[in-house]
Amino acid sequence: RVEVSTLGEAVLRLSPPTGERLRDCAQLRVHVGGAEANVAVALASVGVSARWTSALPDTVLGRRVADSLASAGVVLDTVRWTADERLGLYFAEIGSPPRPTSVLYDRAGTAFGSLHADHLDWAAVCEARIIHLTGITAALAPGSDALVLRTAREGRSRGALVVYDVNYRAALSSPEEAASFTAEVASDIDVLICRAEDARDLFGLAGDPPALADDLAKRLGVGRVVVTAGAGGAVARWDGESFAAPALPTVAVDRIGAGDAFAAGMLWGVLDGSPEDALRRGTAMASLAMTVQGDQCRFSAEEVLELARGAGREVRR
């Protein structure tokens, strides 16, 4: 049994070198991405066993993704390999203030899009203490939403704690669709993670992060709600109590995947017991993730805990 099991699509990210633009760059860097895969890699890197369930094409690109995840120690025994479909891609031009990061998806007709509940061995997928899911998966293809609901229900019925990260992507669904799916999945989850901006844009809520967490908990009937606010840190409404952790000062070179690193830190902390510690590990992992290129966060437990304990202190090695 693994500690955390996730399900979602992996994509290859193609990015111009920092400071160059997609429209005229001569080279593209390749990184493996995919929100749930990023969470699994970050967890495995700190020593938490993690399984990632997905579908990959049996091509050099699909194998590249699997090799990348396996090199971090992620368990891949429930991945379905397909002969006919493709791997999704996305192009990301990393911004630098005032130029925002821009993302272009190229992920129609992917292997993951044809993954069906009947393809999966649910006992294996859900053999975990925590199941982690995100709104990206629900919005990918017709039937992906049903797959997310089924995973949450199968997980819950087997006694796992189910965590759902709203992770709204405007290129994949409308705010109304994302809000309505979140309301639907809410009765099958134990923990909701939501960015403050998503709480405002999807649910029309207002106020500071603690108020947003309270309102989301009431509106969706979820007892444990975590709201992240970037430089404003993160807060949790957890079984009627409130917790907060500040963001750590970061010079960001690449913000993509920071939310997944936060989620991984949270899950790791939840496994160890304290919601407050979980928030602190989350903000530490998010800030570390932003200091390196790529979607994945591969820092050791020691590096994260050192930062979570003594925020911003200089470490000499």
What does the angle CA 85 – CA 87 – CA 93 come to, to the nearest 5 degrees? 150
What is the rounded distance in angstroms from the CA atom of residue 301 to the CA atom of residue 167? 25
Amino acid at 53: T
> What is each CA distance from 169 to 42, 64, 97, 172, 289, in whole angstroms?
21, 25, 21, 6, 20
- Rounded to a whole number of angstroms, the minimum distance from the CB of residue 158 to ligand KDG is 26
The verdict on whether omega for the bond into residue 209 sits within 30 degrees of 0, i.e. cis, is no
Asked if residues 137 and 164 have their Cβ atoms less than 8 Å apart, the reply is no
- Rounded to a whole number of angstroms, the minimum distance from the CB of residue 223 to ligand KDG is 25
Amino acid at 21: R
Residue 10 or residue 304: which is nearer to ligand KDG going by CB?
Answer: 10
- Rounded to a whole number of angstroms, the minimum distance from the CB of residue 38 to ligand KDG is 5
- Rounded to a whole number of angstroms, the minimum distance from the CB of residue 105 to ligand KDG is 7
260 an active-site residue?
A: yes
Residues that bind ligand KDG (CB under 6 A): 11, 33-35, 38, 136, 169, 256-257, 259-260, 295
Which residue in the shown chain puts its C-beta closest to ligand KDG?
Answer: 33
What is the rounded distance in angstroms from the CA atom of residue 75 to the CA atom of residue 2? 8
Structure token pair of residue 78: 């429930």
Amino acid at 100: P
Spot the catalytic one: 260, 272, 277, 295. 260
Task: Assign 169 to helix, strand or coil.
Answer: coil
Task: Give the residue from 211, 254, 217, 225 showing the smallest Cα distance to 31.
Answer: 254
Half-sphere exposure of 152 (CA within 13 A, CB side): 26
Q: What is the CA radius of gyration of the chain?
A: 18
- Rounded to a whole number of angstroms, the minimum distance from the CB of residue 11 to ligand KDG is 5
Residue 198 or residue 295: which is nearer to ligand KDG going by CB?
Answer: 295
- Rounded to a whole number of angstroms, the minimum distance from the CB of residue 34 to ligand KDG is 4
What is the rounded distance in angstroms from the CA atom of residue 256 to the CA atom of residue 70? 21
What is the rounded distance in angstroms from the CA atom of residue 235 to the CA atom of residue 247? 10
Structure token pair of residue 252: 């960001």
* β partners of residue 7: 53
Residues with catalytic roles: 260
